[in-house]
Structure 1
Amino acid sequence: MSDSRSDSTRSLAGDELIKAVTDDVADWEGDELAAFVARAPESREEYRSGSGLPVRRVYTPADLPESWDEIGLPGRYPYTRGPYPTMYRGRNWTMRQIAGFGQAEETNARFRYLIEQGQTGLSVDFDMPTLMGLDSDDPMSLGEVGREGVAIDVLPDMEALFDGIDLEKISVSMTINPSAWILLAMYVAVAQDRGCDLDKLSGTIQNDILKEYIAQKEWVFPIRPSMRIVRDTVVYCSEHMARYNPVNISGYHISEAGANALQEIAFTMAVTRAYVEDVVAAGVDVDSFASRLSFFFVSQADLFEEVAKFRAVRRYYAKMMRERFGATNPQSMRLRFHAQTAAATLTKPQPLNNIVRTALQALSAVLGGAQSLHTNGLDEAYTIPSELAMKVALRTQQILADETGVTSVIDPLGGSYYVENLTSELERGIDDYMARIDEMGGVVAAIEQGFFQREISDTAYDFARRKASGDRPVIGVNKYVDAENDQKVEVHKLDPESEARQISRLKQVRENRDPQRAEAALERLLTLARDDSANLMPATIEAVRAHLSMGEITGALRGVFGSYTETPVF
């Protein structure tokens, strides 16, 4: 959003100071700097940040925002320095290591292990069939069941996943998108059957379908009915689950697809605006649901740019919610985000280097004010992480929290000439992208025209080219390369019988269910699906209670919503 300043705002650097600093820099460049560079030239002609923004040698008070209000104080609009007044002095970020493999029982055991090690929130990874709304016995699922995450087909799977875990006391995040509303329905059913108060459940379901069309490429239905399902989950949670986040708007996957830091936050804000517009158009007041929107960003390699990125997107979001949507509740303007270190930076050569990469990326997330954090395992370039790798990753967060002192001061890089300048540059970059998206007719139109896809592919190609040439160093890959990789790591191995056990349980559940209840539940769901004004969540909860499987639900709804094929971008 464009800067808005009042006459009452205070200048950070007065005209006299700026003139003095500018004159001093000019004198320094013509004297000490010129003489030194003549003797020892700099190693590059041009320096740029990870996202390609020019980086000057030095920054001064002249590079600070014109108004103190652009920086401000933690917990105060525009929340540049953090969404809460005390930040980590009051409570550390949630340490939320993701886990998921095999059957629900196997993942449940990993959950219990991580909780014993001090993890403070659960995060679930689902296998590819579950992500795509397919059952484990679908021919397309062969060989993929439980491989990249846990397999969930029917309600008993979800019951086993959270067996022995108090859902009212631990926050649960679920990384799932096209079939997210079905997983949410199962989660609700499990909680209700245990007698839980839905208003006490905390956590989030990713449920960010637009970024699938932009970057991750996992969808079941066309764009508009998929948007309708997101709307229905947001409305349902706003009415029944006061502490639960029904959508976790994800820049992480946009980045992992090849976008740079600016594109990650700009495209995430464009998607956010589309969701908010959709829910508001359904007659829901923005302040009744905006406080439950949550975000998911990557923490990449360029430490200072990542810190600035988190600060910039927090400020932009606050302005957008107040100025565009008329939000008046401060909670509606506070961007809260989960961060994950960058899987795309992990390398197979010299895998122990990944511990260092992850630690520094985690540091940038903490310095940028993350509310929860996942640190990647050192072996994730090979497979899903082993218990040892997860323990080291969790200990990385615990060392940051308890040994480094970074939690003692809120936004310790606030006021840095470089970080403040970069924060403002990134915020302006979001504005520029939003204007371009508006010219194309909005997010859906831009997706259909391949805009986001082209932007990401061009950036990814440029990065790959620079890495191949050595212009972008990757230690152990194109610089300081070992002749032989002697760093052997123990990797996780999936039980080869897990897939057969999962398929057997699915078939047994189908055989034992009440066929009349299942048929009635499915017919009710299809009837409501044909009415765009109806909310699908209550009927989906009944469908999973009737032990309809995920594949049966999505398969039937394809007959109403259709399917989607992307126009390739070259």
Structure 2
Amino acid sequence: MNLFCETAIEDIREKQASWEEKELAAALSSRPEEKPAYETECGIPLKRVYTAADVADIPADELGFPGAYPFTRGAYPTMYRGRPWTIRQVAGFGNPEATNQRYKYMIQTGQTGLSTDFDLPTLLGLDSDDPRAFGEVGRVGVAIDTVDDVDRLFDGIDLEKISVSLTINPSAWVVYAMYVAVAERRGYDLHKLAGTLQADPLKEYVAQKEWIYPVRPAVRLLRDLIMYSAKATPKINPISLSGYHLSDVGGNALQEIAFIMAFAIAYCEEVTGAGMDIDDFAPRLSFFFISHQDFFEQICKFRAARRVYAKIMAQRFKARKPESMRLRVHVQTAAMSLTKVEHHNNLMRTAIQALGAVLGGCQSMHTNGLDEAFAIPTEEAMKLAIRTQQIIRDEINVTSVIDPLGGSYFIERLTRDMETEIWKLLDEVDERGGAVKLVEEGWFQQKLADSAYATFRKIDAGEKISVGVNRYADETSRSAEVHIHPYDEQCTQLQIDRLSAARASRDHARVRELLKELAEQAGSDETNLLPKTIEAVKAKATLGEICAALREVWGPYAEPMIV
């Protein structure tokens, strides 16, 4: 059943043709439009006006109802009436104690979930005393070397009562092992732990560029993590498939969704191929998308993504549970849209992007600080970012109606057009051999690089406007003083001292034996690596030692060349 009857559609088309011939033609003759053509950021053409005729081909069941297949109108039946999205501002810098203090400040300010950024050495599987870590310890995230650091990170925080997101990828399985070990040390019920690991390896190779191992071993580690956590910590999402980073390196909205769905297909094939039923793990898969500058495109992107994911799970993987088909998404506003020039404008950019995420139906959100173009946000900037979400949630009454833009001629047409283009990209990935193969060949990397180049050409030409930068520039604001978050110069030495103390107090023979056993297990594809990793972290093996043990087995990664 379609949304409108054919008789009504024909009448609308006739009336529109008359309007174009009379009113529109007269207006264009006296005042031409500013551009010869209009389109979304991802290149979908935009009409002047949308009518029922533009949605005549869309079946009514493609819209459906919130919380029901294909989830176009929302992941849950009551959405924000039943539960507001989680305010999940990310924090992470210096030593664990510094980040812990920021956590407690944000909880006091009204944050409802924790999110952790880790420093570059931790992401790359290096200990803080590794020469390659010099100058980076605790600089863009918190430094984690041993299980005791994770204990310090969450000191005084009840992990059974607050959900925790861990933005960690190549070394995610080690940090997860430490998190589990800390929970067991404190006597927590592992089944009550809630949160999310990012742990998305394929997007690292195509976007964020932080890797330790070759592609296929990295996917194997994720498989082990998914299969272990599904039983041990059933409320923890073992992965957050991160389209955000694809956009952050220049990918458009269609690429963000299509490429990350291709990665989701690859991961599901890996896990089901190991013998696990799709309904035993798919309900805990989660996603992380950007909310960017093209307001309506972003809203439609979220709606289209839910529909595409539901169909992939139902049709390709034969999922039976509705929760296996329900796309749950954390959203972050667009860091790449923030500017150093007139940085206070970033408040308005972030507020509008956050509103788009809410109208698009997100489940949790991080709003960027106005000073993030310079450094880690100050406490004041983070407070304003939290207040942005609270004002949207509590003051402007947009949470009272589910999918309030649903049924709009424009919204439904653009949602359908974006879905169609996403399927085209997914079909191309399948035809070329699948996501893992194309990551190894550099195909995704090339597509994202081409998209980024096209965007920067538009910026240079002034076709893409950045207010205060390439349009309405005010030279007096370029020298404005900005107070940024300071870096603790003692951070590195403190972590090195703690590493020395940890190594001095442990059973070295036991650690060596566990690392040897872990490496032997990595040499075959049959044993899940998580139990042995948890044993190792409990014995005070460091993150760097565990990652190095597998690097000896699997070797390094060589990135393909793109042009």
Partner deviation per Cα, 1:56-104 (whole Å, 9 max, x = no partner): 1111111225211000110110000111000000110000000000000
**1:190 maps onto 2:177 in alignment:** no
1:106-121 to 2 correspondence within 5 Å? 106-121=98-113
Quote the Cα distance in structure 2 between the aligned partners of 1:519 and 1:566.
31
Q: After superposing the two structures, state which structure 1 stretch, 438-447 or 180-189, moved more.
A: 438-447
Instruction: Give the conservation status (yes or no) of the 8 Å contact 2:87–2:111.
Output: yes
How far 1:555 moved relative to its partner?
A: 1.1
For the aligned residue pairs, the C-alpha RMSD in angstroms reads 0.8
Partner deviation per Cα, 1:514-564 (whole Å, 9 max, x = no partner): 112211211221121112111000000011111111111111111111111
For 2:277, the equivalent position in structure 1 comes to 285
Quote the Cα distance in structure 2 between the aligned partners of 1:67 and 1:436.
25
Residue 533 (structure 1) aligned to one of 504, 514, 526: 526
Quote the Cα distance in structure 2 between the aligned partners of 1:19 and 1:439.
39
Partner deviation per Cα, 1:414-447 (whole Å, 9 max, x = no partner): 0011111111111111110011111211011111
1:18-33 to 2 correspondence within 5 Å? 18-33=9-24
For 2:458, the equivalent position in structure 1 comes to 466
**1:12 maps onto 2:3 in alignment:** yes
**1:419 maps onto 2:411 in alignment:** yes
For 1:123, the equivalent position in structure 2 comes to 115
Residue 391 (structure 2) aligned to one of 399, 403, 409: 399
For 2:548, the equivalent position in structure 1 comes to 555
For 1:255, the aligned partner's letter is S
Instruction: Give the conservation status (yes or no) of the 8 Å contact 1:322–1:328.
Output: yes
Determine helix, strand or coil for the equivalent of 2:83: coil
How far 1:490 moved relative to its partner?
A: 1.8
Quote the Cα distance in structure 1 between the aligned partners of 2:544 and 2:233.
26
How far 1:448 moved relative to its partner?
A: 2.1
**1:494 maps onto 2:487 in alignment:** yes
TM-score, normalisation: structure 1: 0.98
For 2:467, the aligned partner's letter is I
1:508-527 to 2 correspondence within 5 Å? 508-527=501-520
Quote the Cα distance in structure 1 between the aligned partners of 2:314 and 2:399.
29
Instruction: Give the conservation status (yes or no) of the 8 Å contact 1:352–1:487.
Output: no
Determine helix, strand or coil for the equivalent of 2:475: coil
For 1:59, the equivalent position in structure 2 comes to 50
Instruction: Give the conservation status (yes or no) of the 8 Å contact 2:215–2:440.
Output: no
Partner deviation per Cα, 1:25-76 (whole Å, 9 max, x = no partner): 1111111101100100000001111111111111111122521100011011
Instruction: Give the conservation status (yes or no) of the 8 Å contact 1:100–1:125.
Output: yes
Determine helix, strand or coil for the equivalent of 1:457: helix
Instruction: Give the conservation status (yes or no) of the 8 Å contact 2:146–2:537.
Output: yes
How far 1:469 moved relative to its partner?
A: 1.0
Quote the Cα distance in structure 2 between the aligned partners of 1:199 and 1:60.
50
Quote the Cα distance in structure 2 between the aligned partners of 1:564 and 1:212.
12
Quote the Cα distance in structure 1 between the aligned partners of 2:90 and 2:8.
49
For 1:60, the aligned partner's letter is T
**1:507 maps onto 2:463 in alignment:** no
Residue 293 (structure 2) aligned to one of 276, 298, 301: 301
For 1:543, the equivalent position in structure 2 comes to 536
Quote the Cα distance in structure 1 between the aligned partners of 2:561 and 2:101.
42
Partner deviation per Cα, 1:165-187 (whole Å, 9 max, x = no partner): 00000000000100000000000
Identity of aligned residues (%): 55
Quote the Cα distance in structure 1 between the aligned partners of 2:58 and 2:342.
46
Quote the Cα distance in structure 1 between the aligned partners of 2:474 and 2:504.
56
For 1:32, the aligned partner's letter is E
**1:326 maps onto 2:334 in alignment:** no
How far 1:487 moved relative to its partner?
A: 3.9
How far 1:463 moved relative to its partner?
A: 0.6
How far 1:283 moved relative to its partner?
A: 0.5
Determine helix, strand or coil for the equivalent of 1:421: helix
How far 1:511 moved relative to its partner?
A: 1.4
Quote the Cα distance in structure 1 between the aligned partners of 2:110 and 2:374.
25
For 1:489, the aligned partner's letter is V
Quote the Cα distance in structure 1 between the aligned partners of 2:510 and 2:97.
27
Which segments of 5 or more consecutive residues in structure 1 lack a partner in the other structure?
1-9
Q: After superposing the two structures, state which structure 1 stretch, 499-508 or 266-275, moved more.
A: 499-508
How far 1:486 moved relative to its partner?
A: 5.0
Quote the Cα distance in structure 2 between the aligned partners of 1:422 and 1:543.
51
Instruction: Give the conservation status (yes or no) of the 8 Å contact 1:13–1:66.
Output: no
TM-score, normalisation: structure 2: 0.99
**1:103 maps onto 2:87 in alignment:** no
Count of aligned residue pairs for this structure pair: 561
